[in-house]
């Protein structure tokens, strides 16, 4: 049995009950509108500074700029979703896991967990001849690299905020924490269906990763832990090891460049290491340890 943690209890206390289907539909429509508005905004800015469609063309021509723009656009999505749940559901920061007296410590813990999992996965995939790797630091543009780092921080937080803070705690309060953890992880995986090279193993791994992030949030009762783990997981793939992130082509501004070789079950092929059996094993081990930790914290009986 899964027991409610502090933020789920607070969610149950303050949340105005809404039709779950209507809430979910409204939520995802708002997300799409917010992303669309960010593209409209860049066009307006382009016209205001007298550049016409210059910025739009630049984004279309330069893969690096387009990636950075998409990452930074998630800030607007986070703000819109926060306003929506605050007024539509009457949610407060505590019910969203935003209240943490040790934010820095929680974030650092998430960074260590996320980087440890990704580094372990890549190391074993490399040792099993899944990748060839070479140094690429000489081609890194420091300014663009910093924008990527900040972008991954925003993007990791946005995905965790929507799936864990909003959906997981909502379903956890409406039904029970186990339903919230499993359902939001399924939604998290389904959101990647349109990505290039997506396959069954990728679906399973994204789902398992969703469970890992959910358990981090559930046990720590702080969104900063799972947000940090998520951000560093993606950053290390894209801008450190230089591999595709969930089927998205990697950046040229990466410390190393890794080429997927050998067996796709080891490297993940075009989807990246998230489509690898090595990641499956690492995620299952992580979930086992998190389950034991939750039992020790008396959250699971």
pLDDT one-digit tens code per residue, 209-267: 999 999 999 999 999 999 999 999 999 999 999 999 998 877 889 999 999 998 999 99
CA nearest neighbour of 27 among 93, 72, 97, 84: 84
Number of helices (H), then strands (E), in the chain: 12, 2
Residues 116-170 have pLDDT tens digits of 999 999 999 999 999 999 999 999 999 999 999 999 999 999 999 999 999 999 9
Q: Which residue shows structure tokens 């969104």? A: 223
- Token pair of 198, please? 């997506």
In a 3-state reduction of DSSP, which class is residue 187? helix
Proportion of the chain above pLDDT 90, given as a percent: 77
Phi/psi zone of residue 298: left (φ > 0), alpha (ψ -120 to 50 degrees), beta?
left
User: What distance lies between CA 197 and its chain's CA centroid?
Assistant: 19
**Cα gap 301→294, rounded to integer Å:** 9
197, with CB counted inside 10 A (0-12, 13-18, 19+), is middle
């Amino acid at each position: 049995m899964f027991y409610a943690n502090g933020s789920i209890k607070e969610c149950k206390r303050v949340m105005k009950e809404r039709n779950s289907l209507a809430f979910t539909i409204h939520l995802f429509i708002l997300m799409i509108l917010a992303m669309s508005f960010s593209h409209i905004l860049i066009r307006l800015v382009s016209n205001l500074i007298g550049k016409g469609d210059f910025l739009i063309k630049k984004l279309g021509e330069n893969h690096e700029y387009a990636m950075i723009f998409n990452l930074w656009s998630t800030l607007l999505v986070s703000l819109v979703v926060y306003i929506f749940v605050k007024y539509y559901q009457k949610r407060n920061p505590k019910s969203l896991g935003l209240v943490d007296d040790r934010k820095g410590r929680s974030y650092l813990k998430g960074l260590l967990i996320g980087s440890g999992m990704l580094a372990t996965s890549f190391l074993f995939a490399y040792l099993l001849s899944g990748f060839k790797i070479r140094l690429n630091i000489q081609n890194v543009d420091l300014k663009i690299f910093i924008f990527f780092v900040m972008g991954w921080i925003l993007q990791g937080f946005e995905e965790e905020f929507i799936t864990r803070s909003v959906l997981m705690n909502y379903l956890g309060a409406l039904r029970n924490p186990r339903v919230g953890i499993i359902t939001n992880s399924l939604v998290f995986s389904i959101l990647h269906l349109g990505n290039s090279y997506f396959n069954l193993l990728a679906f399973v791994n994204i789902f398992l990763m969703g469970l890992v992030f959910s358990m981090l949030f559930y046990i720590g009762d702080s969104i900063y832990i799972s947000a940090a783990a998520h951000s560093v997981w993606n950053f290390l793939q894209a801008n450190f090891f230089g591999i595709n992130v969930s089927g998205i082509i990697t950046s040229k501004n990466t410390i190393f460049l890794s080429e997927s070789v050998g067996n796709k079950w080891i490297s993940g092929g075009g989807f990246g290491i998230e489509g690898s059996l090595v990641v499956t094993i690492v995620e299952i081990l992580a979930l086992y340890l998190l389950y034991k930790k939750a039992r020790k914290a008396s959250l699971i009986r």
